[in-house]
Structure 1
Amino acid sequence: MQHVRTLDRYTPYALAALRIVTALIFMEHGTQKLFGFPAPPANGLPAVMSLHWIGAVMEFGGGLLILAGLFTRPVAFLLAGEMAVAYWMFHAPRSFFPVLNGGDAAILYCFVFLLLVFTGPGALSLDSRRDKAVSRSALEH
């Protein structure tokens, strides 16, 4: 059981690694749709204020917030919802099977973001710094 306790102390850092890598990859979806980087989408950049454009803003902006670990829980909740909507609107109608409908990434993002809703950001986040500052402030008063 000692090895489990040893691994447990790294849990906040493993969670941070999952959060950071997820955010970086997720942001790429937004940069592709908003800026055509690293390459524009096959059907071109979405029209401003269209559903795809709003999704791209959420992917880029929400991804930045998740990357920084700032407002992680509410942002992750919104992004999990975005990915659920994306799956059911755009992927599920193509096929029942995620590997055939291209929705496997949307499902994984949805559940990783749901995990962050319940666990928080882990280590190395602005949320944890903010929480420590609020705790110190409360102790001083």
Structure 2
Amino acid sequence: MTELATNRPRLIIPSLGGLYSRLSESAETILRVATGLLLVTHGYGKILNPFGASGMVESLGFYPGAFWSPLLAATEFFGGILIAIGLFTRPAAFAGMIVLAVTVYFHGIVQAEGLGGAEKSILWTLILFFFAVRGANSHSVDAKIGRQF
């Protein structure tokens, strides 16, 4: 396939095309695994104390906190594991994306931190949006079982 057929701009240094092509899927896999593992790390404290965020989620209007706090913990911790291994990647990423979109609201509006306070959450939300739309690639459990959500 020519570059014109793929609607991609021509490379300034065409000899790098092969390298970009070979690393594309690996780079996506690294991003997915890192995203999942960082989400696990973020949710680890919450999973150890699943009701610990009850007051915080209620302050955002999510009642009862005893329901939403463990759901938040499970979404971050177990969802992160699923994203990292590439199993049920789309629904796990979608759930994580919703959680992070709420943190955009929390930091940007509730805490009145504006864009500066919400920028990490915005970035997280967009990364999870990418995997919610894209799913996992061939380096995933989804691919190994031959099914994607």
Q: How is 1:104-119 mapped onto 2 (pairs within 5 angstroms)? A: 104-119=119-134
- Superposition TM-score, scaled by structure 2 size: 0.71
Distance in 2, Cα, partners of 1:109 & 1:23: 11
| Aligned-CA RMSD value | 2.2
Structure 2 residue 96 is matched with structure 1 residue 83: no
Distance in 2, Cα, partners of 1:31 & 1:16: 22
Q: Give the equivalent residue in structure 2 for 1:92.
A: 108
Q: Give the equivalent residue in structure 2 for 1:46.
A: 53
Query: Contact 1:30–1:56 at 8 Å: present in 2 too?
Result: yes
Q: Is there any run of 5+ residues in structure 2 with no aligned partner, and where?
A: 1-13, 55-64
Distance 1:31 1:66, change over 3 A: same
Q: How is 1:1-141 mapped onto 2 (pairs within 5 angstroms)? A: 1-35=14-48, 45-47=52-54, 49-88=66-105, 90-93=106-109, 94-95=111-112, 97-99=114-116, 101=117, 103-131=118-146
Tell me how far 1:91 sits from its aligned partner.
1.2
Query: Contact 1:70–1:125 at 8 Å: present in 2 too?
Result: yes
- Superposition TM-score, scaled by structure 1 size: 0.74
Q: Is there any run of 5+ residues in structure 1 with no aligned partner, and where?
A: 37-43, 135-141
Count of residue pairs the alignment pairs up: 122
Higher RCO, Cα 8 Å, sep 6+? 1
